Amino acid sequence: MKNRKIFYVVVLCLFVSLKQQVFSQSFKDKELNISLNELKLISAIDLIKTKYVDTVNENKLVETAIIEMLKGLDPHSSYLTAEEVKEMNEPLHGNFEGIGVSFNILNDTIFVINAIPGGPSEKLGILSGDKIIEIDQKNVAGIGITNKDVFSKLRGEKGTKVTVSIKRRNEKNLIDFTIIRDKIPIFSLDASYMINKETGYIKLNRFSETTGTEFDSAIFKLKSQHMQNLILDLTGNGGGYLDKAVYLANQFLEKGKMIVYTKGVHSEGVHSPNHAYISAGEGSFQSGKLVVLIDESSASASEILAGAIQDWDRGTIIGRRSFGKGLVQQQLELPDGSMLKLTIARYYTPTGRLIQKSYKEGVDEYEKDLANRYKHGELSNKDSIHFSDSLKYFTLVKKRLVYGGGGIMPDIFVALDTADNTEYFSSIIRKGTLNKFVLNYIDTHREELKRNYPVFSSFDKNFSIDNQILDDLVAFAKKEGISENKDQFQKSKKQIVNLLKAYIARDVWDTNEFFEIMNQDNPVILKALETLNQ
Protein backbone atom coordinates (compact mmCIF):
# COMPACT_ATOMS: atom_id res chain seq x y z
CA MET A 1 0.00 0.00 0.00
CA LYS A 2 2.84 2.36 0.86
CA ASN A 3 4.51 1.77 -2.51
CA ARG A 4 1.21 2.41 -4.27
CA LYS A 5 0.81 5.77 -2.55
CA ILE A 6 4.32 6.78 -3.56
CA PHE A 7 3.54 5.69 -7.11
CA TYR A 8 0.38 7.85 -7.20
CA VAL A 9 2.22 10.92 -5.97
CA VAL A 10 4.96 10.54 -8.59
CA VAL A 11 2.44 10.30 -11.42
CA LEU A 12 0.47 13.26 -10.08
CA CYS A 13 3.62 15.35 -10.04
CA LEU A 14 3.98 14.84 -13.77
CA PHE A 15 0.53 16.13 -14.59
CA VAL A 16 -0.20 18.94 -12.20
CA SER A 17 1.71 22.23 -12.40
CA LEU A 18 5.03 22.73 -14.17
CA LYS A 19 6.05 24.86 -11.22
CA GLN A 20 9.36 23.91 -9.63
CA GLN A 21 7.86 23.60 -6.14
CA VAL A 22 5.85 20.57 -7.20
CA PHE A 23 9.11 18.65 -7.56
CA SER A 24 10.71 19.94 -4.37
CA GLN A 25 11.20 18.04 -1.14
CA SER A 26 8.02 19.52 0.27
CA PHE A 27 5.76 18.54 -2.64
CA LYS A 28 3.87 16.04 -0.44
CA ASP A 29 2.75 18.88 1.84
CA LYS A 30 1.15 20.83 -1.04
CA GLU A 31 -2.51 20.64 -1.84
CA LEU A 32 -2.83 19.11 -5.32
CA ASN A 33 -5.91 19.70 -7.44
CA ILE A 34 -6.42 16.55 -9.49
CA SER A 35 -8.23 16.74 -12.81
CA LEU A 36 -10.41 14.01 -14.31
CA ASN A 37 -7.72 13.19 -16.91
CA GLU A 38 -5.10 12.79 -14.20
CA LEU A 39 -7.35 10.42 -12.26
CA LYS A 40 -7.99 8.56 -15.50
CA LEU A 41 -4.27 8.00 -16.04
CA ILE A 42 -3.71 6.86 -12.45
CA SER A 43 -6.64 4.47 -12.68
CA ALA A 44 -5.36 3.02 -15.96
CA ILE A 45 -1.89 2.33 -14.57
CA ASP A 46 -3.35 0.91 -11.35
CA LEU A 47 -5.66 -1.42 -13.30
CA ILE A 48 -2.70 -2.66 -15.34
CA LYS A 49 -0.82 -3.40 -12.12
CA THR A 50 -3.71 -5.15 -10.38
CA LYS A 51 -5.59 -6.84 -13.24
CA TYR A 52 -3.08 -7.57 -16.01
CA VAL A 53 -2.46 -11.27 -16.76
CA ASP A 54 1.25 -11.07 -15.91
CA THR A 55 3.21 -9.30 -13.21
CA VAL A 56 4.39 -5.89 -14.40
CA ASN A 57 7.51 -3.98 -13.44
CA GLU A 58 6.17 -0.85 -11.72
CA ASN A 59 9.27 1.26 -12.31
CA LYS A 60 9.41 0.35 -15.98
CA LEU A 61 5.67 1.02 -16.34
CA VAL A 62 6.00 4.54 -14.93
CA GLU A 63 9.16 5.39 -16.86
CA THR A 64 7.67 4.12 -20.13
CA ALA A 65 4.61 6.32 -19.54
CA ILE A 66 6.81 9.36 -18.89
CA ILE A 67 9.00 8.76 -21.95
CA GLU A 68 6.02 8.28 -24.27
CA MET A 69 4.32 11.42 -22.94
CA LEU A 70 7.44 13.53 -23.50
CA LYS A 71 7.94 12.08 -26.97
CA GLY A 72 4.69 13.70 -28.07
CA LEU A 73 5.68 17.18 -26.87
CA ASP A 74 8.83 18.31 -28.70
CA PRO A 75 12.22 16.94 -29.82
CA HIS A 76 14.14 18.21 -26.80
CA SER A 77 12.05 17.33 -23.72
CA SER A 78 13.47 14.16 -22.19
CA TYR A 79 13.53 11.93 -19.12
CA LEU A 80 16.67 10.80 -17.26
CA THR A 81 16.85 8.14 -14.58
CA ALA A 82 18.67 8.88 -11.32
CA GLU A 83 21.71 6.98 -12.62
CA GLU A 84 21.66 8.90 -15.90
CA VAL A 85 21.45 12.22 -14.04
CA LYS A 86 24.57 11.32 -12.06
CA GLU A 87 26.45 10.26 -15.18
CA MET A 88 25.30 13.35 -17.09
CA ASN A 89 26.83 15.60 -14.44
CA GLU A 90 30.17 13.81 -14.23
CA PRO A 91 31.78 15.43 -17.33
CA LEU A 92 30.96 18.91 -16.04
CA HIS A 93 33.80 18.65 -13.53
CA GLY A 94 37.35 17.70 -14.51
CA ASN A 95 38.21 14.80 -16.81
CA PHE A 96 36.86 11.39 -17.72
CA GLU A 97 38.22 8.51 -19.78
CA GLY A 98 36.41 7.42 -22.92
CA ILE A 99 36.11 7.99 -26.65
CA GLY A 100 35.30 11.71 -26.41
CA VAL A 101 31.81 12.27 -27.78
CA SER A 102 28.70 13.89 -26.40
CA PHE A 103 25.57 12.07 -27.52
CA ASN A 104 21.83 11.81 -27.24
CA ILE A 105 19.39 8.97 -27.80
CA LEU A 106 16.54 9.77 -30.19
CA ASN A 107 14.23 7.14 -31.62
CA ASP A 108 16.31 4.43 -29.97
CA THR A 109 19.44 5.45 -31.87
CA ILE A 110 22.66 6.96 -30.52
CA PHE A 111 23.27 10.32 -32.19
CA VAL A 112 26.67 11.99 -31.91
CA ILE A 113 26.02 15.57 -30.81
CA ASN A 114 29.65 16.59 -30.77
CA ALA A 115 33.06 14.98 -31.04
CA ILE A 116 35.03 16.65 -28.26
CA PRO A 117 37.91 18.60 -29.82
CA GLY A 118 41.22 16.93 -29.18
CA GLY A 119 39.55 13.69 -28.14
CA PRO A 120 40.12 10.33 -29.87
CA SER A 121 36.81 10.39 -31.80
CA GLU A 122 37.41 13.88 -33.17
CA LYS A 123 40.92 12.89 -34.25
CA LEU A 124 39.51 10.00 -36.26
CA GLY A 125 36.90 12.15 -38.00
CA ILE A 126 33.67 11.23 -36.20
CA LEU A 127 31.19 14.04 -36.88
CA SER A 128 28.14 15.66 -35.34
CA GLY A 129 25.04 13.88 -36.63
CA ASP A 130 26.72 10.49 -36.97
CA LYS A 131 24.62 7.58 -35.68
CA ILE A 132 26.34 4.80 -33.74
CA ILE A 133 24.75 1.57 -34.99
CA GLU A 134 27.19 -1.04 -33.67
CA ILE A 135 29.69 -1.17 -30.80
CA ASP A 136 32.31 -3.92 -31.02
CA GLN A 137 30.27 -5.52 -33.84
CA LYS A 138 27.13 -5.75 -31.69
CA ASN A 139 23.98 -3.89 -32.75
CA VAL A 140 22.98 -1.02 -30.43
CA ALA A 141 20.20 0.54 -32.54
CA GLY A 142 16.54 -0.25 -31.94
CA ILE A 143 17.18 -2.35 -28.82
CA GLY A 144 16.05 0.09 -26.13
CA ILE A 145 19.58 1.21 -25.24
CA THR A 146 19.88 3.68 -22.35
CA ASN A 147 22.41 6.40 -21.54
CA LYS A 148 23.82 4.07 -18.89
CA ASP A 149 24.33 1.33 -21.48
CA VAL A 150 26.15 3.73 -23.80
CA PHE A 151 28.43 4.99 -21.03
CA SER A 152 29.31 1.44 -20.00
CA LYS A 153 30.16 0.46 -23.59
CA LEU A 154 32.06 3.57 -24.68
CA ARG A 155 33.81 4.68 -21.52
CA GLY A 156 36.75 2.69 -20.26
CA GLU A 157 40.35 2.75 -19.19
CA LYS A 158 42.76 4.89 -21.17
CA GLY A 159 44.57 2.88 -23.85
CA THR A 160 41.82 0.29 -24.37
CA LYS A 161 40.12 -0.04 -27.75
CA VAL A 162 36.52 -0.02 -28.91
CA THR A 163 35.15 -0.28 -32.45
CA VAL A 164 32.05 1.66 -33.47
CA SER A 165 30.13 1.36 -36.73
CA ILE A 166 28.73 4.70 -37.85
CA LYS A 167 25.81 5.51 -40.13
CA ARG A 168 26.54 8.87 -41.75
CA ARG A 169 24.11 10.85 -43.85
CA ASN A 170 24.75 10.54 -47.59
CA GLU A 171 26.82 7.39 -46.99
CA LYS A 172 25.30 4.06 -48.09
CA ASN A 173 27.36 1.76 -45.90
CA LEU A 174 28.35 1.75 -42.25
CA ILE A 175 31.74 3.28 -41.48
CA ASP A 176 33.96 1.48 -38.95
CA PHE A 177 36.18 3.39 -36.53
CA THR A 178 38.58 1.72 -34.12
CA ILE A 179 39.00 4.16 -31.23
CA ILE A 180 41.67 4.10 -28.55
CA ARG A 181 40.15 5.47 -25.34
CA ASP A 182 41.91 8.39 -23.73
CA LYS A 183 41.66 11.00 -20.98
CA ILE A 184 39.04 13.52 -22.09
CA PRO A 185 39.57 17.12 -20.94
CA ILE A 186 36.54 19.34 -20.51
CA PHE A 187 37.40 22.72 -21.97
CA SER A 188 35.10 25.08 -23.83
CA LEU A 189 37.84 27.09 -25.53
CA ASP A 190 39.78 25.30 -28.28
CA ALA A 191 42.01 28.10 -29.50
CA SER A 192 43.00 31.69 -28.83
CA TYR A 193 45.69 33.51 -30.82
CA MET A 194 46.49 36.58 -32.93
CA ILE A 195 45.66 35.78 -36.52
CA ASN A 196 47.44 38.95 -37.68
CA LYS A 197 48.83 42.08 -36.02
CA GLU A 198 45.37 43.55 -35.32
CA THR A 199 42.98 40.58 -35.24
CA GLY A 200 42.47 38.03 -32.51
CA TYR A 201 40.76 34.66 -32.92
CA ILE A 202 38.82 32.69 -30.31
CA LYS A 203 37.27 29.27 -30.95
CA LEU A 204 34.57 28.04 -28.53
CA ASN A 205 33.24 24.49 -28.73
CA ARG A 206 30.52 24.82 -26.04
CA PHE A 207 29.14 27.07 -23.31
CA SER A 208 30.14 25.36 -20.06
CA GLU A 209 30.76 26.29 -16.44
CA THR A 210 34.27 27.49 -17.28
CA THR A 211 33.46 29.42 -20.47
CA GLY A 212 33.38 32.85 -18.82
CA THR A 213 36.73 32.37 -17.11
CA GLU A 214 38.34 30.89 -20.23
CA PHE A 215 37.02 33.70 -22.41
CA ASP A 216 38.18 36.42 -19.99
CA SER A 217 41.68 34.95 -19.94
CA ALA A 218 41.77 34.77 -23.73
CA ILE A 219 40.60 38.36 -24.18
CA PHE A 220 43.15 39.60 -21.63
CA LYS A 221 45.95 37.77 -23.46
CA LEU A 222 44.88 39.03 -26.90
CA LYS A 223 44.49 42.61 -25.72
CA SER A 224 48.00 42.47 -24.31
CA GLN A 225 49.07 41.63 -27.88
CA HIS A 226 47.32 44.79 -29.19
CA MET A 227 44.17 43.18 -30.56
CA GLN A 228 41.82 45.64 -32.29
CA ASN A 229 39.47 43.18 -34.05
CA LEU A 230 38.06 39.81 -32.97
CA ILE A 231 36.88 36.72 -34.85
CA LEU A 232 34.69 34.62 -32.53
CA ASP A 233 34.31 31.14 -33.99
CA LEU A 234 31.10 29.33 -32.95
CA THR A 235 31.05 26.82 -35.82
CA GLY A 236 30.15 23.37 -34.53
CA ASN A 237 29.24 24.82 -31.12
CA GLY A 238 26.10 22.96 -29.98
CA GLY A 239 25.36 25.35 -27.11
CA GLY A 240 25.27 24.84 -23.36
CA TYR A 241 24.44 27.12 -20.45
CA LEU A 242 22.21 30.12 -21.20
CA ASP A 243 23.90 32.28 -18.58
CA LYS A 244 27.28 31.82 -20.29
CA ALA A 245 25.85 32.98 -23.64
CA VAL A 246 24.42 36.01 -21.84
CA TYR A 247 27.80 36.61 -20.17
CA LEU A 248 29.60 36.61 -23.52
CA ALA A 249 27.00 38.88 -25.13
CA ASN A 250 27.62 41.27 -22.23
CA GLN A 251 31.26 41.52 -23.32
CA PHE A 252 30.25 43.06 -26.64
CA LEU A 253 27.09 45.12 -26.03
CA GLU A 254 26.55 48.51 -24.46
CA LYS A 255 24.45 48.82 -21.33
CA GLY A 256 20.70 48.34 -21.56
CA LYS A 257 20.57 46.18 -24.72
CA MET A 258 18.29 43.16 -24.73
CA ILE A 259 20.27 39.98 -25.35
CA VAL A 260 17.47 37.42 -25.54
CA TYR A 261 14.03 36.87 -24.11
CA THR A 262 12.05 33.74 -23.39
CA LYS A 263 8.33 33.18 -23.65
CA GLY A 264 6.13 30.36 -22.36
CA VAL A 265 2.52 29.80 -21.34
CA HIS A 266 3.12 29.35 -17.60
CA SER A 267 4.21 32.83 -16.59
CA GLU A 268 3.26 32.95 -12.92
CA GLY A 269 5.60 32.60 -9.95
CA VAL A 270 9.32 32.99 -9.34
CA HIS A 271 10.15 30.37 -11.97
CA SER A 272 8.43 32.23 -14.79
CA PRO A 273 9.91 31.35 -18.18
CA ASN A 274 8.94 34.80 -19.50
CA HIS A 275 12.14 36.71 -18.96
CA ALA A 276 14.32 39.25 -20.75
CA TYR A 277 18.09 39.32 -20.36
CA ILE A 278 19.60 42.83 -20.57
CA SER A 279 23.26 43.75 -21.03
CA ALA A 280 25.06 45.31 -18.08
CA GLY A 281 27.45 47.44 -20.14
CA GLU A 282 30.64 46.32 -18.39
CA GLY A 283 32.06 44.19 -21.17
CA SER A 284 35.69 43.75 -22.17
CA PHE A 285 35.24 44.23 -25.94
CA GLN A 286 32.51 46.79 -26.64
CA SER A 287 34.13 48.86 -29.37
CA GLY A 288 36.43 46.78 -31.58
CA LYS A 289 35.38 45.21 -34.89
CA LEU A 290 33.68 41.84 -34.38
CA VAL A 291 32.97 38.87 -36.65
CA VAL A 292 31.02 35.82 -35.41
CA LEU A 293 31.30 32.54 -37.35
CA ILE A 294 28.42 30.05 -37.36
CA ASP A 295 27.34 26.98 -39.32
CA GLU A 296 24.60 24.34 -39.40
CA SER A 297 25.92 22.78 -36.17
CA SER A 298 25.88 26.04 -34.17
CA ALA A 299 22.91 25.72 -31.82
CA SER A 300 21.11 27.03 -28.75
CA ALA A 301 23.46 29.29 -26.76
CA SER A 302 25.51 29.93 -29.93
CA GLU A 303 22.38 31.16 -31.66
CA ILE A 304 21.44 33.37 -28.71
CA LEU A 305 24.81 35.10 -28.86
CA ALA A 306 24.88 35.36 -32.68
CA GLY A 307 21.29 36.64 -32.77
CA ALA A 308 22.00 39.39 -30.24
CA ILE A 309 25.13 40.52 -32.10
CA GLN A 310 23.26 40.57 -35.42
CA ASP A 311 20.10 42.29 -34.17
CA TRP A 312 22.08 45.13 -32.56
CA ASP A 313 24.40 45.46 -35.60
CA ARG A 314 27.32 44.94 -33.24
CA GLY A 315 29.21 42.67 -35.60
CA THR A 316 29.03 40.65 -38.80
CA ILE A 317 27.77 37.06 -38.83
CA ILE A 318 29.53 34.84 -41.39
CA GLY A 319 29.01 31.21 -42.40
CA ARG A 320 25.85 29.15 -42.90
CA ARG A 321 22.42 29.07 -41.28
CA SER A 322 22.60 27.81 -37.71
CA PHE A 323 20.87 24.70 -36.37
CA GLY A 324 17.66 26.28 -35.02
CA LYS A 325 17.44 25.04 -31.42
CA GLY A 326 15.48 27.62 -29.47
CA LEU A 327 13.57 25.61 -26.88
CA VAL A 328 14.32 26.31 -23.21
CA GLN A 329 14.71 23.22 -21.03
CA GLN A 330 14.45 23.32 -17.24
CA GLN A 331 15.88 20.44 -15.24
CA LEU A 332 13.12 19.29 -12.87
CA GLU A 333 14.13 16.71 -10.28
CA LEU A 334 11.65 13.99 -9.36
CA PRO A 335 11.46 12.48 -5.84
CA ASP A 336 13.58 9.41 -6.67
CA GLY A 337 16.46 11.47 -8.08
CA SER A 338 15.43 11.07 -11.71
CA MET A 339 14.86 14.15 -13.82
CA LEU A 340 12.70 15.75 -16.46
CA LYS A 341 14.46 18.02 -18.92
CA LEU A 342 11.23 19.78 -19.79
CA THR A 343 10.75 22.51 -22.38
CA ILE A 344 9.23 25.48 -20.58
CA ALA A 345 9.70 28.32 -23.08
CA ARG A 346 11.12 29.45 -26.42
CA TYR A 347 14.08 31.73 -27.14
CA TYR A 348 13.57 34.95 -29.12
CA THR A 349 16.24 37.35 -30.40
CA PRO A 350 16.00 41.08 -29.56
CA THR A 351 14.04 41.78 -32.77
CA GLY A 352 11.51 39.08 -31.89
CA ARG A 353 12.80 36.31 -34.13
CA LEU A 354 12.03 32.78 -32.92
CA ILE A 355 15.25 30.76 -32.92
CA GLN A 356 13.57 27.32 -32.87
CA LYS A 357 12.93 25.67 -36.24
CA SER A 358 9.60 23.95 -36.82
CA TYR A 359 8.92 20.42 -35.58
CA LYS A 360 5.28 20.27 -36.70
CA GLU A 361 6.03 17.36 -39.05
CA GLY A 362 7.21 15.18 -36.17
CA VAL A 363 10.51 14.09 -34.68
CA ASP A 364 11.51 11.94 -37.68
CA GLU A 365 11.33 14.87 -40.09
CA TYR A 366 12.97 17.14 -37.53
CA GLU A 367 15.97 14.82 -37.40
CA LYS A 368 16.28 14.91 -41.19
CA ASP A 369 16.58 18.70 -41.32
CA LEU A 370 20.36 18.92 -41.78
CA ALA A 371 20.35 16.09 -44.33
CA ASN A 372 17.56 17.89 -46.21
CA ARG A 373 19.57 21.11 -46.20
CA TYR A 374 22.45 19.23 -47.84
CA LYS A 375 20.12 17.50 -50.29
CA HIS A 376 18.43 20.74 -51.34
CA GLY A 377 21.74 22.54 -51.82
CA GLU A 378 21.42 24.98 -48.93
CA LEU A 379 24.92 24.25 -47.63
CA SER A 380 26.54 24.98 -50.99
CA ASN A 381 24.33 27.69 -52.50
CA LYS A 382 22.75 30.66 -50.75
CA ASP A 383 20.08 30.93 -53.47
CA SER A 384 18.69 27.55 -52.37
CA ILE A 385 17.46 29.14 -49.12
CA HIS A 386 13.98 30.62 -49.28
CA PHE A 387 12.16 32.67 -46.64
CA SER A 388 8.59 33.90 -46.70
CA ASP A 389 7.81 37.60 -46.35
CA SER A 390 6.18 36.90 -42.99
CA LEU A 391 9.62 36.05 -41.59
CA LYS A 392 11.17 39.44 -42.37
CA TYR A 393 12.68 41.45 -39.52
CA PHE A 394 14.91 44.52 -39.38
CA THR A 395 17.95 45.06 -37.18
CA LEU A 396 17.60 47.57 -34.39
CA VAL A 397 20.31 50.08 -35.37
CA LYS A 398 20.94 49.98 -39.12
CA LYS A 399 17.51 48.55 -40.03
CA ARG A 400 19.05 45.78 -42.15
CA LEU A 401 16.82 42.96 -43.35
CA VAL A 402 17.19 39.68 -41.44
CA TYR A 403 15.01 36.57 -41.35
CA GLY A 404 13.35 34.43 -38.72
CA GLY A 405 11.94 30.95 -39.15
CA GLY A 406 14.47 28.92 -37.22
CA GLY A 407 18.20 29.41 -36.78
CA ILE A 408 20.29 32.50 -37.50
CA MET A 409 20.93 33.30 -41.17
CA PRO A 410 24.40 34.86 -41.50
CA ASP A 411 25.00 38.29 -43.02
CA ILE A 412 27.60 36.76 -45.33
CA PHE A 413 27.17 33.21 -46.64
CA VAL A 414 30.16 30.90 -47.15
CA ALA A 415 29.46 27.57 -48.84
CA LEU A 416 30.53 24.23 -47.39
CA ASP A 417 33.84 23.34 -49.04
CA THR A 418 33.73 19.77 -50.40
CA ALA A 419 35.65 20.27 -53.66
CA ASP A 420 38.69 18.25 -52.59
CA ASN A 421 36.86 15.37 -50.90
CA THR A 422 37.55 11.90 -52.29
CA GLU A 423 36.95 8.33 -51.14
CA TYR A 424 40.69 7.91 -50.56
CA PHE A 425 40.79 10.96 -48.30
CA SER A 426 37.67 9.82 -46.42
CA SER A 427 39.17 6.36 -45.90
CA ILE A 428 42.44 7.52 -44.35
CA ILE A 429 40.46 9.82 -42.03
CA ARG A 430 37.63 7.57 -40.84
CA LYS A 431 39.85 4.52 -40.37
CA GLY A 432 42.27 6.55 -38.28
CA THR A 433 45.10 5.95 -40.74
CA LEU A 434 46.20 9.57 -41.00
CA ASN A 435 46.15 10.00 -37.24
CA LYS A 436 48.05 6.74 -36.63
CA PHE A 437 50.63 7.75 -39.20
CA VAL A 438 51.17 11.09 -37.46
CA LEU A 439 51.53 9.38 -34.07
CA ASN A 440 54.14 7.04 -35.54
CA TYR A 441 55.90 9.93 -37.25
CA ILE A 442 56.07 11.97 -34.07
CA ASP A 443 57.22 8.97 -32.05
CA THR A 444 60.12 8.58 -34.48
CA HIS A 445 60.90 12.27 -34.99
CA ARG A 446 59.95 13.84 -31.65
CA GLU A 447 63.44 14.82 -30.60
CA GLU A 448 64.26 16.07 -34.07
CA LEU A 449 61.10 18.21 -34.14
CA LYS A 450 61.82 19.70 -30.72
CA ARG A 451 65.42 20.41 -31.67
CA ASN A 452 64.66 22.00 -35.04
CA TYR A 453 61.50 23.83 -33.97
CA PRO A 454 61.77 24.86 -30.30
CA VAL A 455 58.72 27.15 -30.68
CA PHE A 456 55.58 26.81 -32.75
CA SER A 457 56.18 29.96 -34.81
CA SER A 458 59.38 28.40 -36.15
CA PHE A 459 57.54 25.17 -37.02
CA ASP A 460 54.70 27.09 -38.68
CA LYS A 461 57.09 29.11 -40.83
CA ASN A 462 59.72 26.53 -41.72
CA PHE A 463 58.29 23.00 -41.50
CA SER A 464 56.71 21.56 -44.64
CA ILE A 465 55.24 18.21 -45.64
CA ASP A 466 57.68 16.93 -48.26
CA ASN A 467 57.26 14.16 -50.82
CA GLN A 468 59.02 11.64 -48.58
CA ILE A 469 56.41 12.09 -45.85
CA LEU A 470 53.59 11.76 -48.39
CA ASP A 471 55.14 8.60 -49.88
CA ASP A 472 55.48 7.15 -46.39
CA LEU A 473 51.81 7.94 -45.71
CA VAL A 474 50.69 6.18 -48.90
CA ALA A 475 52.78 3.11 -48.00
CA PHE A 476 51.41 3.15 -44.44
CA ALA A 477 47.84 3.37 -45.75
CA LYS A 478 48.50 0.39 -48.04
CA LYS A 479 49.47 -1.69 -45.02
CA GLU A 480 46.20 -0.60 -43.43
CA GLY A 481 44.28 -1.98 -46.41
CA ILE A 482 43.70 1.29 -48.27
CA SER A 483 44.68 0.94 -51.90
CA GLU A 484 46.57 3.78 -53.53
CA ASN A 485 44.57 5.96 -55.92
CA LYS A 486 46.88 8.53 -57.51
CA ASP A 487 44.13 10.66 -59.04
CA GLN A 488 42.17 10.88 -55.79
CA PHE A 489 45.35 11.49 -53.83
CA GLN A 490 46.27 14.42 -56.05
CA LYS A 491 42.79 15.88 -55.79
CA SER A 492 42.87 15.72 -51.98
CA LYS A 493 46.59 16.47 -51.64
CA LYS A 494 46.13 20.00 -50.29
CA GLN A 495 43.77 18.78 -47.56
CA ILE A 496 46.08 15.91 -46.68
CA VAL A 497 49.13 18.18 -46.44
CA ASN A 498 47.27 20.70 -44.25
CA LEU A 499 45.93 18.01 -41.94
CA LEU A 500 49.31 16.28 -41.60
CA LYS A 501 50.98 19.50 -40.53
CA ALA A 502 48.07 20.45 -38.26
CA TYR A 503 48.01 17.01 -36.59
CA ILE A 504 51.75 17.15 -36.01
CA ALA A 505 51.39 20.63 -34.50
CA ARG A 506 48.53 19.46 -32.29
CA ASP A 507 50.38 16.43 -31.00
CA VAL A 508 53.60 18.35 -30.39
CA TRP A 509 51.84 21.41 -28.92
CA ASP A 510 48.03 21.60 -28.53
CA THR A 511 44.70 22.23 -30.24
CA ASN A 512 45.48 25.95 -30.37
CA GLU A 513 48.30 25.26 -32.81
CA PHE A 514 46.10 22.82 -34.75
CA PHE A 515 43.67 25.64 -35.52
CA GLU A 516 46.47 28.05 -36.36
CA ILE A 517 47.50 25.68 -39.16
CA MET A 518 44.02 24.75 -40.38
CA ASN A 519 42.68 28.29 -40.39
CA GLN A 520 45.30 29.46 -42.86
CA ASP A 521 43.26 27.97 -45.72
CA ASN A 522 39.80 28.00 -44.11
CA PRO A 523 37.43 29.85 -46.51
CA VAL A 524 35.25 31.10 -43.64
CA ILE A 525 38.29 32.58 -41.86
CA LEU A 526 39.53 34.13 -45.08
CA LYS A 527 36.12 35.73 -45.64
CA ALA A 528 36.17 37.06 -42.07
CA LEU A 529 39.57 38.67 -42.59
CA GLU A 530 38.43 40.14 -45.89
CA THR A 531 35.35 41.59 -44.20
CA LEU A 532 37.39 43.14 -41.38
CA ASN A 533 39.76 44.71 -43.90
CA GLN A 534 36.83 46.28 -45.72
The β-bridge relationship of strands 327-333 and 339-348 is antiparallel
User: 85: helix, coil or strand?
Assistant: helix
Q: Which of 325, 431, 436, 501 is catalytic?
A: 325
Is residue 414 within 8 Å of residue 381, measured between CB atoms?
A: no
DSSP conformation class of 16: S
- Rounded distance, CA 263 to CA 522, Å? 38
Which candidate, 346, 354, 350, places its Cα nearest to that of 395? 350
Packing angle of the helix pair 58-71, 2-15 (nearest 10 deg): 10
Q: Which residues of 136-157 are buried (b: 16+ CB within 10 A; e: fewer)?
A: eeeebeeeebebeebbebbbee
Query: Under 8 Å CB-to-CB from 69, ≥6 apart: which residues?
Result: 14
Cα-atom radius of gyration of the chain, to the nearest Å?
25
> What CA–CA distance (Å, rounded) separates 326 from 357?
7
Active site residue 216: no
**CA dihedral defined by 242, 244, 246, 247, rounded to 10 degrees?**
160
Q: Which residues sit opposite 72 in a β-bridge? A: none
494 annotated active-site: no
Query: Is 311 an annotated catalytic residue?
Result: yes
Please give the torsion angle defined by the CA atoms of residues 62, 68, 73 and 76, in that order, rounded to the nearest 10 degrees. Answer: 90
Among the listed residues 311, 369, 411, 507, the single catalytic one is: 311
Which are the contacts of 80, defined by CB distance < 8 A and separation ≥ 6?
88, 147, 338, 339, 340, 341
Catalytic residue among 77, 188, 300, 492: 300
Quote the DSSP letter at residue 417: -
Would you name the residues annotated as active-site residues? 300, 311, 325
